[in-house]
C-alpha cells in the first residue's frame, strides 16, 4: 500500500463554515492585522493529524456555539509551513493561538471539548480587558 493511501483525508469544511483565512509564514503578521480589533484565533493543524480532524468535526457539530464566540478565524497547516511551528514552539497539533492586535494572548492545545475552548477564549478576552484598564 502506498503511503498516500494511508493518509487521513483533510476535511476543509470547517475552514469554510467558520470563514477561516489561510495563513502562511510570509503573510502571517499581515493576515493577523486584518483582524483589526477582533479577537483572532489561529488554528494550527497538520495533514495526517487524526486529532485535528476530530477537533474540526467537534466544532462543526456545534457551529452556532463556535460562531457565538465572536472570533476572527485563521488556519495554518504547520506541516507545510514549518517555520510557523518553530516560531510558536509548537510541540503538537491541533493548537489554537489567540491574538489581539497582533499580540499573542494565549493558546489551547488539543481539543478537550467546547467548554475548555470557551474558557480559553474567555481568558484571552480577560487579558484584553486587563490591558484596556492599564
Q: What would the pLDDT profile of 32-61 be if each residue is shown by its tens digit?
A: 999 999 999 999 999 999 999 999 999 999
Provide the pLDDT for residue 1.
Answer: 42
- Check residues 133 and 96 and name the one with the higher pLDDT: 96
Asked if residue 2 has pLDDT above 70, the reply is no
Angle, alpha carbons 61-23-104 (nearest 5°): 85
- Average pLDDT on 94-112 reads 97
Cα separation, 15 vs 57, whole angstroms? 11
Q: Please give the Cα distance from 21 to 11 (Å, whole number).
A: 15
**Mean pLDDT throughout 113-129?**
97
**Tens-place pLDDT, residues 79-99:** 999 999 999 999 999 999 999
Dist CA 78 CA 112 (whole Å): 20
Residue 131 has pLDDT above 80, yes or no: no
Ordered domains of the chain (ranges, CATH): 3-132 (3.40.30.10)
Residue 9: which pLDDT band, with cuts at 50, 70 and 90?
Answer: confident
pTM to 2 decimals? 0.90
Amino acid at each position: 500500500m502506498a503511503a498516500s493511501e494511508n493518509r487521513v483525508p483533510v476535511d476543509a469544511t470547517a475552514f469554510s463554515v467558520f470563514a477561516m483565512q489561510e495563513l502562511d509564514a510570509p503573510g502571517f503578521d499581515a493576515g493577523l492585522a486584518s483582524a483589526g480589533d477582533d479577537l483572532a484565533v489561529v488554528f494550527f493543524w497538520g495533514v495526517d493529524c487524526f486529532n485535528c480532524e476530530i477537533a474540526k468535526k467537534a466544532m462543526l457539530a456545534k457551529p452556532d456555539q463556535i460562531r457565538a464566540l465572536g472570533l476572527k478565524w485563521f488556519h495554518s497547516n504547520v506541516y507545510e509551513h514549518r517555520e510557523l511551528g518553530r516560531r510558536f514552539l509548537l510541540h503538537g497539533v491541533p493548537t489554537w493561538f489567540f491574538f489581539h492586535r497582533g499580540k499573542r494572548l494565549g493558546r489551547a492545545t488539543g481539543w478537550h471539548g467546547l467548554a475548555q475552548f470557551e474558557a480559553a477564549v474567555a481568558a484571552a478576552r480577560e487579558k484584553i480587558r486587563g490591558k484596556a484598564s492599564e
